[in-house]
A and B are shown apart, each in its own frame.
Chain A
Amino acid sequence: MIPAPFDYEVAESAEHAVELLGQHDDAKLLAGGHSLLPLMKLRLASPSVLIDIGRVSDLSYVRDAGDRIAIGALTCYEDAHFDETLKSSCPIVAHAAGEVGDPQVRNRGTIGGSVAHGDPASDIPTIMLALNAEFVVRGPTGERTIAAADFFKGVFEVDLAPQEILTEMRVPKTSSGWSYLKFHHRAQDWATVGVAVVLGDGSNNASVALTSMGERPLRAQGVEEALAAGEDPASAARRAAEGTNPVSDPMGSSEYRRQIAPVLTRRALEEALSR
């Protein structure tokens, strides 16, 4: 389980990382390495150059930015989990960061890496989708922002060009109820199914997003519509699997996931409403 040989470069800043990406074909950014290194050890990925952005310390922060909170891409899960600003102003992110893997994984893995990797079984992308987060991306021609809803395209597929780096995630401050429930077999496992709920002003404009229910994190549109139409949470939750296309894998069959999603959604709505 040794990766194939590669060259190693250290980026000093986001701009430097973009520059280095421009100098090499087939280069990959290395953040926490907790998705990329396992893939490289299995030789499912073998980039010829790794550009280490793990030392760009000014991309690791959580900042109060008025009505939003800005999270630097290199912020590790454990820092986000214990961050006071997140805990008080956008607790769903702090909570979900603590649900990822185990403490060792959380000490290395980064919020930005999770978003950039685009694994539909990851927790943070679902949270970002439920929050209508905005991502800041830097490339050779400057910076652009993109909505979470437009960013996730498919399995390991996101709206990032080969020379671009994700630098920041912006999430709204939330004062209403929220929940993230993750069904998994063992404590450190990925979500068989995950459900994020963020209430607006009352239960009839909740946003509900799902982990592991398709090729990318999905909004549970049926549930959101039902709630908007005034249905009670228990009956709205029954529509959670509508329009989803979950995989069958060792964690559970597609059918099983479609059974769990409505139950978990009901519980998540109840938890959010009680907060």
Chain B
Amino acid sequence: MNGARLEAEVEPRQLLVYFLRDNLNLTGTTVGCDTTSCGACTILVDGKSVKSCTMLAVQADGTEVTTIEGMAKDGELHPLQRAFHDNHALQCGYCTPGMIMAAAGLIQRGGDMSEDDIRLGLEGNLCRCTGYHNIVKAIQQAAGEMKSSATV
């Protein structure tokens, strides 16, 4: 869990997102729709983006889970976090953790990161405020930086 080993007992029916929020107090991961549509609850499981409202906590047993709280290292913002800040890629901020985690999944997956690739890659994440433009710009900036410094 965000780089540390975590052991916990959970009821099988507990959804991962509620385990994170209610049991671990990791409230950076938000719930928008609860129906796998909006992407607000996106986290990384073994490096892959996943909607945590549609995964059981027990299914995460033995995996590496990363949430928005695990992105900054030693007080330094992750390049994606900094790029969202630099590009004013958020307004209310509700979708932001999910956007950043979805973007991290796309970057981790490798492949091209053109504007079109990014827009298509975000098809599972909704933002009601920004119009997406600055989000795409931020991700492009971060992807470029991360590629050149190879700190995926």
Residues of A within 8 A of B (CB): 1-8, 30, 33-34, 37-38, 40-41, 50, 52, 54-55, 78, 101-105, 107-108, 187-188
Contact = CB atoms under 8 A, between A and B. Distances in A.
B35 interface: yes
Interface residues of B, number: 33
A37 B34 CA distance: 11
Contacts of A105: 36, 51, 124
Nearest to B18: A2
Chain B contact residues, majority secondary structure? mixed
B54 A37 contact: yes
Contact of B123 (A38, A50, A187): A187
B29 interface: no
26 contacts: A1-B35, A1-B53, A2-B13, A2-B15, A6-B13, A8-B56, A30-B59, A33-B54, A33-B55, A33-B56, A34-B54, A37-B55, A38-B35, A38-B36, A38-B54, A102-B123, A102-B125, A103-B121, A103-B124, A104-B49, A104-B51, A104-B105, A104-B124, A107-B50, A108-B50, A187-B123
Contacts, number: 82
B100 interface: no
Nearest to B105: A103
A108 B105 contact: no
Given A78-B48, A102-B125, A105-B36, 15 more contacts: A1-B35, A5-B12, A8-B12, A8-B56, A50-B12, A52-B59, A102-B39, A103-B121, A103-B123, A104-B36, A104-B124, A107-B50, A108-B50, A108-B51, A187-B123
Nearest to A42: B35
A107 B59 contact: no
Interface in B53-90: 53-56, 58-59, 62
A107 B54 CA distance: 12
Nearest to B13: A3
A1 B41 CA distance: 14
A55 B50 CA distance: 16
B59 A102 contact: no
Contacts of B121: 103
Contacts of B54: 33-34, 37-38, 108
A8 B58 contact: yes
Per CB-CB distance, the 6 closest pairs between chain A and chain B, nearest first, are A102-B124, A8-B12, A187-B123, A107-B48, A102-B123, A1-B34
A127 to B, nearest CB: 20
B63 to A, nearest CB: 10
B143 interface: no
B21 to A, nearest CB: 13
